[in-house]
């Protein structure tokens, strides 16, 4: 009579073990034990990541590169840093969404919302600085005036240069002091 091989999966509190045994003629058993601990990371549930056992029944994934999700199954759309000029990228409905600073415009904070001049050659255009604030290009003129961006009118306006601060000197002579030596 041929030997019959049966496999039995026995679960214990600390591990799962696979036991194999051979049934010999006359109901004698020869036990062959193969112990293999099966944990929550077998097979690896992390699609694009490394699995770490938290306990016997749970795991966490450390995702590779631009992947995210409980099982590292989703590509992170913000990984490529699509938001320019200091914009903040957030994932909304699985897509990258940029929150732009100041006058930088969505979708990727690349275009500036500062106005162009209505009088080219006489009034300068404005542009976005690093913080997204509108700043005027400076046009040289004989009065040495400077151009500032007026938020209320959303245009550049010319202002005369500020005179240097006046320093007032005290005309009274210094008071002599006497030093004594010992």
Please give the full DSSP string across 77-111, using - where no structure is assigned: TTTT----TTPEEEEETTEEEEE--TTEETTTT-E
pLDDT tens by residue, 53-112: 999 889 999 999 889 899 999 889 999 999 999 999 999 998 999 999 999 999 999 999
pLDDT at 34: 57
Domain holding 141, by residue range, is 114-159
Whether residue 127 is contained in a domain is answered as yes
Whether residue 5 is contained in a domain is answered as no
Whether residue 132 is contained in a domain is answered as yes
pLDDT tens by residue, 126-170: 999 988 999 998 876 666 778 889 998 999 988 887 777 777 776
Whether residue 121 is contained in a domain is answered as yes
Residue 13 neighbours by CB under 8 Å, 6+ apart = none
Whether residue 148 is contained in a domain is answered as yes
Whether residue 141 is contained in a domain is answered as yes
Whether residue 28 is contained in a domain is answered as no
pLDDT at 81: 94
Q: Taking a C-beta distance cutoff of 8 angstroms, is the pair 100, 132 a contact? A: yes
Whether residue 136 is contained in a domain is answered as yes
> Residue 9 corresponds to which tokens in the numbers above?
């999966």
pLDDT band for 14, please (50, 70, 90 cuts): very low
Give 89 or 19, the one with higher predicted confidence: 89
Residue 137 neighbours by CB under 8 Å, 6+ apart = 124, 125, 126, 127, 147, 156
- Structural domain count of the chain: 1
């Amino acid at each position: 009579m041929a030997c019959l091989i049966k496999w039995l999966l026995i679960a214990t509190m600390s591990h799962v073990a696979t036991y194999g045994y051979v049934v010999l003629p006359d109901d004698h058993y020869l036990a062959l034990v193969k112990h293999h601990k099966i944990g929550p990371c077998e097979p690896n549930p992390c699609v694009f990541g490394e699995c770490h056992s938290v306990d016997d029944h749970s795991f966490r994934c450390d995702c590779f590169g631009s992947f995210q999700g409980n099982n590292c199954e989703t590509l992170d759309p913000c990984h490529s840093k699509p938001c320019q000029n200091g914009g903040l990228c957030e994932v909304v409905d699985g897509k990258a969404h940029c929150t732009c600073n100041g006058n930088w415009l969505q979708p990727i904070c690349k275009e500036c919302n500062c106005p162009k001049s209505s009088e080219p050659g006489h009034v300068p255009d404005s542009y976005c600085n690093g913080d997204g604030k509108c700043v005027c290009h400076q046009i040289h003129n004989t009065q040495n005036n400077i151009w500032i961006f007026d938020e209320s009118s959303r245009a550049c306006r010319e202002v005369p240069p500020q005179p240097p601060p006046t320093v007032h000197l005290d005309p009274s002579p210094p008071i002599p002091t006497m030093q004594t030596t010992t």
